[in-house]
Amino acid sequence: MLLEQLRRRIVPRWRDHRTTLALGELSQSRAPAAISESDSDALSLRASEWHASPTVWHAADLLSSAFAVGESGRFRDATDFVLTHRDVAPPALVGLAEKIAKPPQDRLVGSPESVLENAIGRLVHKVRLRLRNEPRNAIQWVELARLYTLLGASDRAVRSMITAVELGPDNRFVVRSAARLFLHEHDAGRALRAIRNASGARTDPWLLAAEIAISSASQSPSLLAKVGRLRNEDSALSDFERTELSSALATLELENGKSRRARQLFRQSLTAPNENSVAQAEWANREIGGLDLRGNLNDVPRSYEAHAQLALRKGEWQPAIENGLLWLEDQAFSKRPAMFTSYVCSLIEDYEQSVAILRSSLSVNQNDPVLLNNLAFALASANRLPEAKEVLRGTDYNAVSGTTAVILAATHGLVLFRSGFPDQGRELYRLAMDRAGALKVLKYRIQADLYLAREELLANTSVARVETEKALAAAEKSTEPDVAVISEQVRRLYREFLSSTTQESRHEV
């Protein structure tokens, strides 16, 4: 099993509406406008009417009017009056008075909730019930699309999202969610159309960031990068509003080989980041270095991805898994957190958890070759061979390309080893190593080499000693903790192998 080194782009996150609101990513605020003189006069008149006739209904009229123009805080006496007379006041009025007296906390971002499949079914029912009464509610269509995505019903998800975009083509939540789903469904063209057709496409920094990132992910030129650069310089934007835009532009610069400019922009994105821009900077730091994330990690809500990746780099496996699981719950439809967390679980030989994560992710990302490969690896490593073979059925290591061709060849080799065909297995491991060499991904080559040694040792082959020493020597070149932990496993097996061969020799003597 290998962790695919994917190039990261700051594509929009897709969470439920309430959480996205609470994270502040849907704000487009300005300094509160002053109340107009005519509104102020109307409120004064209503206040005097209430003082002349201090009844619940006059207080209701005053509070209702004041709340509409954001001035309810001025009429504490009317609020208290309603709360004191709650037994005769309509419940909705009492509710409003309570909200005025104690405004709800807007920015409370809790941990993501793990949603079980039957709970998703109930949520689908609830949302559909709302949509029966509110068929034009674009936000609820997005929610329905998200729930369908979690259930793996991608056709229904896409249809729901298309309806949402038709109903709310200019709304940031709708457009960014739609872009994320369409990208997930490998339809970058539709994702980009949704963004570019929005009325705020050329001004909204969150839409500009999404357009630049998705264009890059789909290897197509961004039509709005130039506008985005100008907008990024606009001092009217707050640092938080610009965080993803700066990050998307930085990634673009990095892809164009302009590391210095990329670093500057990443630093700008970290002035007031969200978790996505922190994760992007963490990834960029691995690529080009020179970025300091320490100040951001603990202050940014839901920065699980960055925490998980940093923990992996430090070899802190348990924090890596814990944050990986939270990342997965936060972005349950995404395969990246599933790949990451299952990889770390497999590293520490917790194959059962790895299998559970991968099976769950495969229900959403059906037939994804990397997820299938990782699942087969975990199953074979846990000696659940029939299941591993079943998973690998239909996969062809010659029909894929890139790093997927490396890992798939290696995993087929693993299954052959465990099935009692070491020669054929070895051949496939070597094929994987050659492919890794051709792709110039040394880490992949080293890991394939180590896993081959593991299998040679377990199969007690005649070349086990030679292969192991060669693999361990090659692994010495790597400083990465995940390579080190596999090396340690191989070393442990090698010690056991040596001691058993020594005992056998003594026995023979």
Neighbours of 60 (CB within 10 A): 20
Stretch that binds other proteins, among 170-178, 338-346, 414-422, 450-458 (CB under 8 A): 170-178
Q: Rule CB under 8 A: say whether 96 interacts with other proteins.
A: yes
Considering only 46, 176, 190, 384, the residue that binds other proteins (CB under 8 A) is 46
Amino acid present at 92: A
What is the separation, in whole angstroms, between the first and last Cα of the chain? 41
Q: Which amino acid does the sequence have at 124?
A: V
Say how far apart CA 47 and CA 54 lie, in whole Å.
Answer: 10
Does residue 323 belong to the site contacting other proteins (CB under 8 A)? no
Q: Does 328 bind other proteins (CB under 8 A)?
A: no
Q: Which of 429, 380, 439 is closest to 407 using CA atoms?
A: 429
Choose, by CB under 8 A, the member of 1, 43, 252, 306 that binds other proteins. Answer: 43
Which member of 3, 23, 78, 89 binds other proteins (CB under 8 A)?
89
For residue 32, state whether it binds other proteins (rule: CB under 8 A): yes
Beta carbons within 8 Å of 4's beta carbon, 6+ residues apart? 339, 370, 403, 404, 407
Among 6, 51, 68, 396, binds other proteins (CB under 8 A): 68
CB of 166 to other proteins, least distance (A): 11
In terms of Cα–Cα distance, which of 175, 227, 232, 225 is closest to 198? 175
Q: Per rule CB under 8 A, is residue 235 in the interface with other proteins?
A: no
Contacts (CB under 8 A) with other proteins, residues 211-230: none
**Could you identify the residue written with the tokens 């030989």?**
349
Interface with other proteins (CB under 8 A), residue from 58, 242, 302, 307:
58
d(CA 194, CA 186): 14
**Longest CA–CA separation in the chain, Å:** 113
Binding of residue 171 to other proteins (CB under 8 A): yes
| Among the listed residues 103, 110, 290, 295, the single contact to other proteins using CB under 8 A | 103
- Does 240 engage in binding with other proteins (CB under 8 A)? no
Cα 79 to its chain centre, rounded Å, is 43
- How far is residue 414's CA from residue 422's CA, in Å, rounded to a whole number? 9
Nearest CB to other proteins, comparing residues 35 and 153:
35
> Whose Cβ is closer to other proteins: residue 16's or residue 282's?
16
Say which DSSP state 350 is in.
Answer: -
Size of the site for other proteins (CB under 8 A): 62
318 binds other proteins (CB under 8 A): no
CA distance 62 to 105: 24
Comparison of 39 and 287: residue with beta carbon closer to other proteins:
39
Q: How far is CA 234 from CA 227, 262, 267, in A?
A: 11, 18, 17
User: Which tokens hold the place of 411?
Assistant: 């995993």
CA-CA distance, 376 to 382, in Å (whole number)? 10
As measured in angstroms, the least distance from the Cβ of 214 to other proteins is: 20
Cα within 13 Å of Cα(419), Cβ side: 17
Identity of the residue, 238 or 259, whose beta carbon is nearer to other proteins in the bound complex: 238
21 belongs to the binding site for other proteins (CB under 8 A)? yes
Site for other proteins in 179-218 (CB under 8 A): 199-200, 204
Judged by beta carbon, residue 240 or residue 421, the one nearer other proteins is: 240
Does residue 356 bind other proteins (CB under 8 A)? no
Tell me which residues touch other proteins (CB under 8 A): 17, 21, 26-30, 32-33, 35-39, 42-43, 46, 49, 53, 55-58, 60-61, 63-70, 82, 89-93, 95-96, 99, 103, 106, 130, 133-134, 136-140, 167-168, 170-174, 199-200, 204
